[in-house]
Structure 1
């Protein structure tokens, strides 16, 4: 059972990227500025398993969808 907080911080933990706001800030600083034609689920800085998770959770409108949308805004 998933008991994670469904926030961007929780999403980063779920993806294995980090668990602190500093991790989010550093990731966005490094990878932000995606072109409008690049989907977050196809960004090459995510591993295949991370891309699959993002695609499935967003497509299924899961509890992670809002956090994925927020990360999408941050990266574009």
Structure 2
């Protein structure tokens, strides 16, 4: 059983992105979700990142809460 806490930093690590606080802030500042665009369909994800996010949200998996939080942070 996975007991790793599901934090924004760990989500970034799962996505293969730099997961330090500065890099996360920089990513959020430089990437925006356009109105009406689902998180997993944003053009800045690789196919594997998009698949991971879509699956997490569709299955309401452990990562869904962090994916929702990331979507909120990226929204205008």
Deviation at 1:4, TM superposition (A): 3.5
- Structure 1: any 5+ residue segments left out of the alignment? none
Which residue of the partner structure matches residue 9 of structure 2? Answer: 9
Map Cα deviations across residues 23-65 of structure 1 (whole Å, 9 max, x no partner): 1100011102x22111111011000000000000111111101
3-state SS, counterpart of residue 37 of structure 1: coil
Q: Which runs of 5+ in 2 are unaligned?
A: none
TM-score by length of 1: 0.89
Partner residue in 2 for 1:43? 42
Question: What TM-score results when the alignment is normalised by the length of structure 2?
Answer: 0.89
SS of 2:24's equivalent? Answer: helix
Please list every run of at least 4 consecutive aligned residues from structure 1 whose deviation after the TM superposition is greater than 2 angstroms: 1-5
Measured on the aligned residues, the alpha-carbon RMSD in Å equals 1.3
